Structure formats: structure tokens, C-alpha cells
Amino acid sequence: MELYNRQQIQDVVTLDRAALEAVEAGFRALGEGNVVQPPILSMAIEESNGEVDVKTAHIKGNSRFAIKVSPGFFDNPKLGLPSLNGLMIVFSARTGLVEAVLFDEGYLTDIRTALAGAIAAKHLSRADSRRVAVIGAGLQAELQVAALKLVRDIDTLDVWARDVDKARAYAMRMHQTYGLETIVHETVADACREADIIVTTTASRQPLLSGEHLPDGVHVTAMGSDSPEKRELDTSVMERADHFVADTRPQSENNGELKAYAGHQPPFEVLELGQVVASGKSPRTTDAEITVCDLTGTGVQDTAIAGFALGRLAS
């Protein structure tokens, strides 16, 4: 059994095409019905404003699977500690023996979450997409764009965030690091007006994006909502979309944007990202159609990225 720390993992796993293909293969297997993926185990530690989630999945036939434990303790910043944390345990799928523990402190979650955004854009956005609007200015605001660059020739970044100073700092960083033309906007509407792709990356509990903000032909990835309290999209976004895709429908209903339709059928078809990847063709049929993808984070992404990481670490 091997133990690896965050630095060792960061040294070998980055946002590259091979990592993207590994996570994409996980979604493909999910769409083909070749994945066992139980519901998320979730526990609140109310007195510390904390929660812990456990996610797992097994891709049938794979020699390994991973279990990820993600604590989120939201008063940690007051103590000078990060809110998010965690580790992944990699097991042999033949014997159940532990092959490795990846003490990645949430790093692999950041990576596989960004890659899922890129996978969504690869299969749903217009191939000529160049201009991205990002709502939010946190870590995923950066990683989502970095991952998008693997699949689309992004050159322009429009930014809106609640905290304008953070929005400016983020835009500056994205300009310096990735050479993007960046514009900070005062409203969500302004940020989205020219977008080919919109990515919402916030922990908002109220919808930030409305259907009226969407230009024709845009693709929207909403990756912020991952719990029963959070929500980024007004129902008008989904109802305006020509194609709505969830990473997994039950999770979107519990933790994602479909919770807006709690208890009743949404007035549109719900596709799953794995099905789209497995089908090999985009549901988009014209450049004017609007696509929306809701990402809540799935166990198969964790199993895929952990197996990928261990492959690189152990070689």
C-alpha cells in the first residue's frame, strides 16, 4: 500500500488531455450502463458548520475503484484553514485491498470538477466558441477556464462576481497566466451578452442567471450547486434551453439545479452527460441552439481521476 501527499499528486496530475480523457471515459462508461454508482453518503456536523460527503463508483471491469471522503468545514477560514479537504482511497477491485491512499486535500476534486466542465463544453458547446463568461471568481473560476482551453480556443473572458475586487484580481490573473483578454462587468447580464460559453462557479443559494441573460447559441455549465441549499440557475434558464443535461439526474434533483422542480416533472427532457458522451454525438443540431449542463460531481469522476493519478504516481 502506498501513501501520497498533495504535493506528490500535484506534481503528476494537471489539467491535461490525458486527465480529461480519463474522466471522459468514466462518463462514457456511466452512459453505457457500466458503472455502479451508489448515492452520496452525506453527514452534517452542525456545531462546526461542517459536513462530510463520501462518493464512490466502480467502472465494471476496471482493476481499481476509489472512495472519496470530502469534509467541508466552512468556519475553517476563521482558523486559517481551508474549508475543503479530503482524501481518496484506492482499492483493488479484485480483492478489496487498499492499493493507495491519496491525501490530496481536495486537489483531485478540483481537477476532476474542472475537467467535467470541459467535457460538457466539448460535447455541448459550439465548436467555434471563443468567448467565456464566468460568474464567480474563486478557484473553479480559474480551473474551469483552464480546462476549457483543452477543448475550445478560448481567447476572451467576461467576468462577474459579487465582490468586484475579487473579480478584478481574478481577471488580472487570467490575463497574466493564460493571455486572455478579460473584461470585468457590473452585471451578470453584461457579462453574458457576448458569451459563447457561460460557466457559473458560485456557492449561491439564489438563482444568479436568468433565461433573458442567454445569447443565442450559448452553452451554460452550472457547476456551483452541489447541495440541497445551493442554486445558481433560474428555471427560465433551463426552460429556455434547447437541451438540458445533468451529470446524473438523481443528483441534479437532490443537489443541483433540478431541485427547482422538486416533486414534479420538469417541462423539458433531461439528458445525462454520460449518455451524451457515450452516444458520440452532441444533442446540439444548430449554432443557434442553447445547451445547459448541470454538474453536481459524481463518484465516477472520483474513481476515474484517482485511478489516473495512481497510474502516474506508481509509474
Catalytic-labelled residue, pool 53, 104, 110, 226: 226
CA–CA gap between residue 293 and residue 300 (Å, rounded): 17
Q: Is 153 a catalytic residue?
A: no
Among 25, 36, 169, 203, binds a second copy (CB under 8 A): 36
Of 4, 22, 28, 58, which lies in the binding site for a second copy, with binding defined by CB under 8 A? 58
Contact between residue 171 and residue 160 where contact means Cβ atoms under 8 Å apart: no
Give the total of residues touching a second copy (CB under 8 A).
43
Residue pair 197/125 in contact by the 8 Å Cβ criterion: yes
Applying CB under 8 A, does 14 fall inside the site for a second copy?
no
- Measured CA angle at 281 (ends 275, 287), to 5 deg: 120
Residue 314: CB atoms within 10 A of its CB come to 12
φ, ψ of residue 194 to 5 degrees: the values are -110, 10
Q: What is the 8-class DSSP label of residue 262?
A: T
The least distance separating a second copy from the CB of residue 158, rounded to whole angstroms, comes to 35
Nearer to a second copy, 66 or 146 (CB): 66
Could you say which of 27, 85, 143, 253 contacts a second copy (CB under 8 A)? 85
Residue with cell 451508489: 38
With binding defined as CB under 8 A, does residue 112 bind a second copy?
A: no
Interacting span for a second copy (CB under 8 A) from 87-95, 161-169, 170-178, 262-270: 87-95
183 binds a second copy (CB under 8 A): no
C-alpha cell belonging to residue 40: 452520496
Q: Which residues contact 46 (CB under 8 A, 6 or more apart)?
A: none
The site for a second copy (CB under 8 A) is made up of 1, 3, 36, 38-48, 50, 52, 54, 56-58, 60-61, 65, 67, 69, 71-73, 76, 79, 81, 85, 87, 89, 91, 93-98, 101, 103
Residues labelled as active-site residues:
226
